[in-house]
Amino acid sequence: MKRRLPLVLVIPALLGLAFLVVPMAGLLVRAPWATLGTQLVSAEVGQALTLSLVCASLATVVCLVLGIPLAWLLARGELPGRGVLRALVTVPLVLPPVVGGVALLLVLGRRGLVGQYLHEWFGISLPFTTAGVVVAEAFVAMPFLVIAVEGALRAADPRYEEAAATLGASRWLTFRRVTLPSIAPGVVAGTVLCWARALGEFGATITFAGNFPGRTTTMPLAVYLALETDPGAAIVLSIVLLIVSVVVLVSLRDRWISGVS
């Protein structure tokens, strides 16, 4: 016999669903469909979209290069205070992005703890540049990758790695040929979530990289600017970001859950 769902749970659940879905549906209802095609091919939208895609992709590459070894260290490394390290890695998830941007300025700015030496010794200045956008996006997005990969590493059977070591494989060879293929779903899930988070980053980007059209104005920043001058363009940009987010989550389905569990 099929059990009826209790109304005391169903009603709040439906209200919660409406609370999350109705605002997104509002974008579609208020979209300027008559001029949507013209808006999408405009120079401003194309410029912001291209910059966003490029910067998010580069930030994801940075996260992969640094995040996978970090996840391995947290999952397999016998380090004292590993729980504290894990907490520090996940701080950007709960830290207000603007605070993250301020922290990056204090460290990587021209007078920052590290940035002053980068500028004096190598002539490198990251703030208010496209490279600064990549750094800001990588800072806020990397925890998504680390959490997913670490979860996959913890779920992987270590006996295959032990067997490879017994057969004489080096640690690096074992990592490349055994460990990475076994955690590939977690890496893919973390990569996609990381890329999506980088694509939607706003606070750290505008604080650390500023808002210069063609150089640091990504799509979220363009939405913010367009709200004051051209609300229709803001809606169009928002819809593009919404579609990207939905496509990412639908394509992942349950894979990201298995990657972080």
Q: What is the pLDDT of residues 76-133, one digit of tens each?
A: 877 777 788 888 888 888 888 899 999 999 999 888 898 888 888 888 888 899 999 9
In a domain, 9, yes or no: no
Q: What angle (nearest 5°) sits at the alpha carbon of residue 215, between those of residues 210 and 221?
A: 50
Q: Per-residue pLDDT for 135 more than 90?
A: yes
Q: How confident is the model at residue 211 (pLDDT cuts 50, 70, 90)?
A: confident
- The pLDDT of residue 105 is 92
* Overall average pLDDT of the 184-213 stretch: 89
- The tens digit of pLDDT for each residue in 63-80 reads 999 999 999 888 887 777
Q: State which amino acid sits at residue 144.
A: F
- The pLDDT of residue 248 is 73
In a domain, 193, yes or no: yes
- The pLDDT of residue 259 is 45
Q: Per-residue pLDDT for 185 more than 80?
A: yes
Four-CA torsion 95, 96, 102, 107, nearest 10 degrees? 20
In a domain, 139, yes or no: yes
In a domain, 240, yes or no: yes
Contact 126, 55 (CB under 8 A): no
Per the confidence metrics, is the pTM higher than 0.75? yes
The range of the structural domain enclosing residue 130 comes to 48-260
Measured between alpha carbons, how far is 220 from 238 in angstroms, rounded to an integer? 8
Q: How far is CA 150 from CA 73, 173, 182, 240, 252, in A?
A: 9, 19, 12, 31, 18
Measured between alpha carbons, how far is 44 from 37 in angstroms, rounded to an integer? 13
- The pLDDT of residue 253 is 60
* Overall average pLDDT of the 49-57 stretch: 90
Q: How confident is the model at residue 14 (pLDDT cuts 50, 70, 90)?
A: confident
Q: State which amino acid sits at residue 207.
A: T
In a domain, 241, yes or no: yes
In a domain, 192, yes or no: yes
Name, of 27-31, 165-169, 196-200, the range with top average pLDDT.
Answer: 196-200
The token pair at 126 is: 């990251």
DSSP state of 200: T
- The tens digit of pLDDT for each residue in 193-206 reads 899 899 989 999 99
Measured between alpha carbons, how far is 206 from 238 in angstroms, rounded to an integer? 17
In a domain, 15, yes or no: no
| CATH classification at residue 120 | 1.10.3720.10
Q: Per-residue pLDDT for 55 more than 80?
A: yes
In a domain, 131, yes or no: yes
Q: State which amino acid sits at residue 192.
A: V
Q: How confident is the model at residue 171 (pLDDT cuts 50, 70, 90)?
A: confident
Q: How far is CA 2 from the centre of its chain?
A: 41
**Number of domains the chain contains:** 1
Contact 199, 53 (CB under 8 A): yes
